[in-house]
Amino acid sequence: MKVIVSTGRLCTVTVKMCACEPERYGLWPASADKPQTAFSIPLLELFVCLSLECQVSVEGFCNTLRWKNNLTLAEVNTLYRALVGESISHFRHHHFRQRSLVDICPQLDDGTICPACPKADGDMIVTLDANFGLVRKQSSGTSVVEPLHGTRMFVDEKDVEEYLLLHLDSSKPHEDCSTFKAGNMLRSQKQAKKLDVTGVFGASCRHEMPLMFVNMSQGERLAYPLYVIDELLRRCEDKNIHLRVVYDIACVVASHLHKSGEGIPHNISLAVPAFHVYGHKLPCQIKYSTRRLDGFGLTDGEGMERLWSFLRRFARVTKEMTPSHRLDLLTDALLHYGRRKSNDLGLSTADHTQIA
């Protein structure tokens, strides 16, 4: 069998295979069925950490090893061809399952639950935002298999499409009282022809734990925030949770809900983030600033902007990926971000308390 050792070089060794213990020799197979090549696990671990933390691409990683370990160009090409297959996403997923133990006990936290938000009877502050950088090119292929993570972070696209069809009236945010969105709208229309995902709409809690994400296939439509709000409400049904939603154009959402006759549900409050609100007309600044409304504390509502500044760096890699691979990498990235947030929650909460 051929083994790619921790320097990135290919060696030939004899390995007696046993299907039930993939990590026994510290090797990870390049393919699930009758593998001919295997990787050293420390090598893959290094790659996974580098890709989650610094968005290193396979190509970048191979070239790094080339200069660090004096690989020849032929060795780099062999390494590249071995690494671009399925095995990396399976490896990442295997580690996720090992860490979260969700296979053994589905009730365990899979990394999507915020330790600090109320699970029942309380107020939950969530921030919503769209990002038009996290696109996918139509020419980047199709997937035959579903993402390994399923709908852990990204909701089912069929669900969203059905919702969009049912809510045709909420086509575009017509009353444009904020100037921030204009550029995004233009860009998303110009490029939409070559892209099948034009951006990502997401929600995080006030502690910046990622909650829910939607692939957008059309420009900015009010139906996306409405869908996410509906879905969040459905998730905290019967739990006596008051949802406080902070969104760049919450004022437009509010006036849409009033106009359509639905009204704002009693268990929701809407607000505009503390900095974005200055792009709005004066009445909005008074009515919707998180600094002026009750119950929002000192939450600035800009948590999604901070999350995007991490996640958008993956766009360079994910825009060229197949739909399932892309969702798996973005989900793993979000889980990584969530781990960072929940591990540091004690410190960040202490800091926030001090400021307050």
Q: List interacting residues with Zn ion (CB under 5 A).
A: 18, 20, 114, 116-117, 177, 205, 207, 251, 280, 284
- Smallest distance, Å, CB 338 to Zn ion? 10
Q: Which is nearer to Zn ion, 84 or 182 (by Cβ)?
A: 182
Alpha-carbon gap, residue 282 to 276, rounded angstroms: 12
Instruction: Find how far residue 207's CA is from the centre of its chain.
Output: 15
The sign of the torsion formed by the CA atoms of 259, 265, 269, 271 equals negative
Least Cα distance to 109 among 230, 227, 209 occurs for 209
Alpha-carbon gap, residue 38 to 11, rounded angstroms: 10
Q: Which is nearer to Zn ion, 52 or 117 (by Cβ)?
A: 117
- Smallest distance, Å, CB 192 to Zn ion? 25
Which residue has 């390994």 as its token pair? Answer: 148
- Smallest distance, Å, CB 210 to Zn ion? 10
Q: Which is nearer to Zn ion, 27 or 135 (by Cβ)?
A: 27
Q: Which is nearer to Zn ion, 163 or 288 (by Cβ)?
A: 288
The half-sphere exposure of 90 on its side-chain side, counting CA atoms within 13 A, is: 16
Backbone angles phi, psi at 12, to 5 degrees: -110, 125
Q: Which is nearer to Zn ion, 280 or 326 (by Cβ)?
A: 280
Which residue has 């809900």 as its token pair? Answer: 257
Least Cα distance to 195 among 96, 87, 323, 92 occurs for 323
- Smallest distance, Å, CB 212 to Zn ion? 13
Q: Which is nearer to Zn ion, 120 or 144 (by Cβ)?
A: 120
Cβ neighbours, 10 Å, residue 212: 20
- Smallest distance, Å, CB 284 to Zn ion? 3
- Smallest distance, Å, CB 20 to Zn ion? 4
